[in-house]
A and B are shown apart, each in its own frame.
Chain A
């Protein structure tokens, strides 16, 4: 046998680091023209469907809804309020003599607020027909007092930035309900009595959607012994009403009729989420892409070429997940910003404050949609690496992801909420900017649920791929 010098490779400076692997997987992804079209389709579907939904919702709210002008649709700030300014510390006392029991959450009581402007910070002590005495502030805080109804004595006391509520049966023995802090209080606040009542709401959930109709439900109550007691002697301005009602500037008894509620509203349309709902359709294209990115290699036997070039299979899968997730994120980001900028003017038709990117919640929803699309694509990739068949993988992912959302309106609310909180569909919560009666899970918790599914699927996929043989 002839002896020879062993051959040496002339290819220089070769490396098989992770960046090289990323470049390799990116080359794979970008070099199949059909996959580029799939990404384009994902963006187009997200934008077009979002526009359609926004146009529909905008036309509906243009007719007028119960929202309060200029503030978030999440809150209602209506009702009847008779007030006068109070400078410095002091108290407001009154007896709610009667209250019409038209709604368990009808409200009648005392309110101090930073200004008479809707949406300004407030503290309100009230009686309700169904929930007793409550001290509420700034639309979200709600502290319970006793179970008593009218007649009942109420007292609100301002000390610096805090407001404390008291209740009493006779006007002399007071018990404390609670204390709330109000931001932004100047030396002078508005004090007075108010009546409010939520609209009568009819909610119809059926497969494919919900229908909410509201009719005005007037709240009525009478007050006597109304008195503002400043800590520092001062000339009190006359009573004013927030409506067109004429009031006696020196009255101590009032009879008020109020329409609309003040507080948290659980039935508002989530405009941002509506605009971004097209992602649900666009995401299907990314599910297909994530699955095909791996199953085509199995079908063609190309996966063995991949594992020959890069024997460390876990790293290959990790690199592929990063490349796919990155690409899906960019596509999602372009699509979600585009659809928001196009569709927001269509849907911002009602009186309520418009959905705007300057709102951190809205920005989170828009950027979160891109993150959602990226994570779902990676989840699809992982499922595909486990089951190795396109149809099975696509079906599995779509079932887990979309059925809870599509079927939710056909299911009992508790079941629907549970499904939307424990399945990968929880990830869509990242798009919500409004807390609703049917909100299943918080935005970040929901996204974390999806990420957990993805992490587990990716772990199983890596484990399986490392053991795979022909």
Chain B
């Protein structure tokens, strides 16, 4: 099976609400693709359509060229983490994975392997109802990995994980991508994808906003801005303004300079006798690049207050 996800002209409405509105993108093997957008942007709906849980009104969502519901032993071709709380509280972690394994004819020893892999081997016999959200996330990820599939889909996998868990999943995602799998990770928090995603698909209100590699996005966003630390903010602004740069004070001892490279800023300030304690080309965080990208996008302006917008 070609390990790709192809979304083509996908459209889905529930009652009067359009959840996904003509969405098209491709997830390629060998990299981690972040699937980003505010809550309610249509990420979960897209994933549900992809997994054949809901039916699209228009368009197709294919895995390796096939509709999900036409896959035999789907767990060996696509692993998915949908909702970490989806388990029976009285059932042990091992049994929770065992029934899934049985349904696809996956041998029981594979269950122990994935429990080991996600670090739940010690609590395998315990009822999953007593698990923390972080442990449930790990159990859900174990379920996705059961069939050792070439395509992996994680819906908000970082939710509820402690810092250690966040680092763990970041490394796991990267490793899965490096193994040649197609990995799709959705998140409403861009920062969560920092350091793991190679590619980004950004959607808002069911539409595609950007489909770009992370490297390109960061390069575009950095824009040659320079951060300058100085005790003489006023003087520094005057000097640099005269040289044609745009300068904004960001703190009592910090300014951001746009339009002049570091190589020119340093002699200018030295000549003018302005002392400074630091000057550095700013590397934007992924989140900042993302904000810049989505700034002014109609889809994002209309996000209900308190939901997506507030969380950035």
**Residues of chain A whose beta carbon lies under 8 Å from any beta carbon of chain B:** 1-17, 20-21, 23-25, 27-28, 31-35, 296-297, 300-302, 304-312, 469-470
Contact B150 A470, beta carbon cutoff 8 Å: no
A31 and B91 contact, Cβ closer than 8 Å, known pairs A7-B150, A305-B143: yes
A301 to B82, CA, bound (A): 9
- Give me 9 A-to-B residue pairs in the complex whose CB atoms sit less than 8 angstroms apart, sorted by A's number: A6-B2, A9-B148, A13-B105, A27-B102, A31-B91, A31-B95, A296-B88, A305-B87, A309-B75
Asked if B74 is at the interface (CB within 8 A of a chain A CB), the reply is yes
Inside 8 A of B181's CB, which chain A residues have their CB?
7
A66 to B257, CA, bound (A): 111
Mark out the residues of chain B between 61 and 114 whose CB falls within 8 Å of any chain A CB in the assembled complex: 68-69, 71-77, 80, 82-83, 85-92, 95-96, 98-100, 102-107, 110
Inside 8 A of B98's CB, which chain A residues have their CB?
27, 31
Inside 8 A of A35's CB, which chain B residues have their CB?
90
State the Cβ distance, B178 to closest chain A Cβ, in Å.
8
Contact A1 B29, beta carbon cutoff 8 Å: no
Asked if B149 is at the interface (CB within 8 A of a chain A CB), the reply is yes
Q: Across the two chains, which residue of chain A brings its CB closest to B143?
A: A305
With most chain A CB atoms within 10 A of its CB, the pick from B69, B73, B150 is: B73
State the Cβ distance, B81 to closest chain A Cβ, in Å.
10
Contact B48 A470, beta carbon cutoff 8 Å: yes
Contact A10 B148, beta carbon cutoff 8 Å: yes
Inside 8 A of A297's CB, which chain B residues have their CB?
88
Asked if B295 is at the interface (CB within 8 A of a chain A CB), the reply is no
Asked if B1 is at the interface (CB within 8 A of a chain A CB), the reply is yes
A302 to B28, CA, bound (A): 29
A311 and B74 contact, Cβ closer than 8 Å, known pairs A9-B148, A296-B88, A305-B100: yes
State the Cβ distance, B240 to closest chain A Cβ, in Å.
39
Inside 8 A of B103's CB, which chain A residues have their CB?
16, 20-21, 24, 306, 309-310
A20 and B102 contact, Cβ closer than 8 Å, known pairs A6-B29, A7-B150, A9-B76: yes
Q: Across the two chains, which residue of chain A brings its CB closest to B113?
A: A11
A1 and B31 contact, Cβ closer than 8 Å, known pairs A9-B148, A11-B148, A469-B55: yes
Asked if B160 is at the interface (CB within 8 A of a chain A CB), the reply is no
State the Cβ distance, B131 to closest chain A Cβ, in Å.
13
Inside 8 A of A32's CB, which chain B residues have their CB?
88, 90-91
Inside 8 A of A305's CB, which chain B residues have their CB?
82, 86-87, 100, 143
Q: Is the interface of A mostly helix, strand, loop or mixed?
A: loop
A375 to B296, CA, bound (A): 61
Contact B52 A9, beta carbon cutoff 8 Å: no
- Please tell me which one of the listed residues B14, B69, B90, B106 contacts residue A33 in the complex, with CB atoms under 8 A apart: B90
Asked if B217 is at the interface (CB within 8 A of a chain A CB), the reply is no
Contact B51 A300, beta carbon cutoff 8 Å: no
With most chain B CB atoms within 10 A of its CB, the pick from A23, A32, A300, A309 is: A309
Inside 8 A of A1's CB, which chain B residues have their CB?
28, 30-31, 213
Contact A300 B87, beta carbon cutoff 8 Å: yes
Q: Across the two chains, which residue of chain B brings its CB closest to A302?
A: B86
Interface string of B195-222 (1 = CB under 8 A from A): 0000000000000000001000000000
A428 to B209, CA, bound (A): 63
A307 to B53, CA, bound (A): 7
Q: Across the two chains, which residue of chain A brings its CB closest to B74?
A: A311
A470 and B106 contact, Cβ closer than 8 Å, known pairs A7-B179, A14-B147, A311-B71: no
With most chain B CB atoms within 10 A of its CB, the pick from A4, A9, A31 is: A9
With most chain B CB atoms within 10 A of its CB, the pick from A7, A17, A34, A305 is: A7
Q: Across the two chains, which residue of chain A brings its CB closest to B178?
A: A4
Inside 8 A of B76's CB, which chain A residues have their CB?
9, 11, 14
Contact B3 A301, beta carbon cutoff 8 Å: no
Please name 18 further chain A to chain B contacts, defined as beta carbons within 8 Å, in addition to the given A4-B180, A25-B99, A308-B75, sorted by A numbering: A1-B31, A4-B29, A6-B150, A6-B180, A9-B150, A11-B148, A16-B74, A17-B105, A24-B99, A24-B100, A28-B95, A32-B90, A300-B85, A304-B83, A308-B53, A310-B74, A469-B14, A470-B48
State the Cβ distance, B3 to closest chain A Cβ, in Å.
4
Q: Across the two chains, which residue of chain B brings its CB closest to A19?
A: B105
Contact B105 A20, beta carbon cutoff 8 Å: yes
Inside 8 A of A3's CB, which chain B residues have their CB?
30
State the Cβ distance, A56 to closest chain B Cβ, in Å.
38
Contact A301 B2, beta carbon cutoff 8 Å: no
State the Cβ distance, A312 to closest chain B Cβ, in Å.
8
A308 and B85 contact, Cβ closer than 8 Å, known pairs A14-B105, A16-B104: no
Inside 8 A of B29's CB, which chain A residues have their CB?
4, 6-7
Asked if B54 is at the interface (CB within 8 A of a chain A CB), the reply is yes
Q: Across the two chains, which residue of chain A brings its CB closest to B146?
A: A11
State the Cβ distance, A83 to closest chain B Cβ, in Å.
71
State the Cβ distance, B186 to closest chain A Cβ, in Å.
15
A16 to B105, CA, bound (A): 6
State the Cβ distance, A73 to closest chain B Cβ, in Å.
47
A306 to B52, CA, bound (A): 12
Inside 8 A of B2's CB, which chain A residues have their CB?
6
Closest 8 CB pairs of A and B: A31-B95, A15-B105, A24-B103, A4-B30, A24-B102, A7-B150, A7-B180, A27-B99
Q: Across the two chains, which residue of chain A brings its CB closest to B101?
A: A24
A4 to B31, CA, bound (A): 10
Contact A11 B110, beta carbon cutoff 8 Å: yes
Inside 8 A of A301's CB, which chain B residues have their CB?
82-83, 85-86
State the Cβ distance, A340 to closest chain B Cβ, in Å.
33
Q: Across the two chains, which residue of chain B brings its CB closest to A23?
A: B102
A399 to B100, CA, bound (A): 35
A32 to B103, CA, bound (A): 17
Contact A304 B99, beta carbon cutoff 8 Å: no
Inside 8 A of B31's CB, which chain A residues have their CB?
1-2
Contact B91 A309, beta carbon cutoff 8 Å: no
Contact B100 A309, beta carbon cutoff 8 Å: yes
Inside 8 A of A296's CB, which chain B residues have their CB?
88
